[in-house]
Amino acid sequence: MRVAVISDIHANLHALEAVLEAVDAEAPDALWCLGDVVGYGPRPNECCAIVEERADVCLVGNHDLVCIGAIDVSMFNYDAAAAAAWTRSELAADARSFLGRLQPQAKTPLAELFHASPTDPVWNYVLSDEAASWAFQATEAALILVGHSHVALQIHLDHDLLAGGVARADAAVALSTGRWLLNPGSVGQPRDGDPRAAWLLLDLERMSGSFRRVAYPIERTQSEMREAELPEALVARLAFGE
Ligand code: ZN
């Protein structure tokens, strides 16, 4: 079984379309989305409709939950809160009900999926060895998939030895030994210095993973954001991937 894994789309329709074109070229058996379909970006309704139609598994993320009013916006910084308020006013009933039906974690026969981390599926960032170690202790899954940090990661645990870190574009990992925690990176707002949209292709028969990046028309998303009067810092960061 080959699976395309996407996360943190953040209402960036042009990034999502570019990723799905690359996904379709690989013709995987399934598409899994780790959450944060909306928040920050200018096209929340379209992204919800596409993900609802295409994803075999979709989690809900912290931004999705804030944007549908399920959790309080006070956890957000000023720009994230402003974007969430805008998104809340834009979200159509269909999109709202789609997001409202999702959970922040899921189990499949070959992997466990969390928006953020097994230690807290909504909020905890896995960005340090310590956080990764806690994540491995919180579940027995051999393969853990997380999103949330917007940083593509490949972390390996073998006989108590933790290794790995940021996954660069085109990095390939062999998943056959030990346990793994992978983050595909973010489709719509990468924060690892590479502004291209990120996704991950898994081959769960051969037990391998391949980190992918795809260019998309960033300036189109930026001009839609300016038209929507979303915070300029959120517009600017897309060009730098940080
Ligand atoms: Zn996110």
Over residues 72-95, the pLDDT tens digits come to 888 899 999 999 999 999 999 999
Over residues 84-142, the pLDDT tens digits come to 999 999 999 999 999 999 999 999 998 999 999 999 999 999 999 999 999 999 999 99
In eight-state DSSP terms, residue 126 is -
Instruction: Write the burial class of residue 102 (CB in 10 Å: 0-12 exposed, 13-18 middle, 19+ buried).
Output: buried
What is the Å distance from ligand 1's center to 174 Cα?
26
Q: Is 158 helix (H, G, I), strand (E, B) or coil?
A: strand
What is the Å distance from ligand 1's center to 140 Cα?
25
What is the Å distance from ligand 1's center to 64 Cα?
9
CATH number of 2-237: 3.60.21.10
Is the whole model's pTM more than 0.85, yes or no? Answer: yes
What is the Å distance from ligand 1's center to 123 Cα?
10
| Residue-range domain boundaries for the chain | 2-237
| Residues around the ion ligand 1 (C-beta < 5 A) | 8, 36
What is the Å distance from ligand 1's center to 150 Cα?
6
Q: Report whether 169 contacts 196 (CB < 8 A).
A: yes
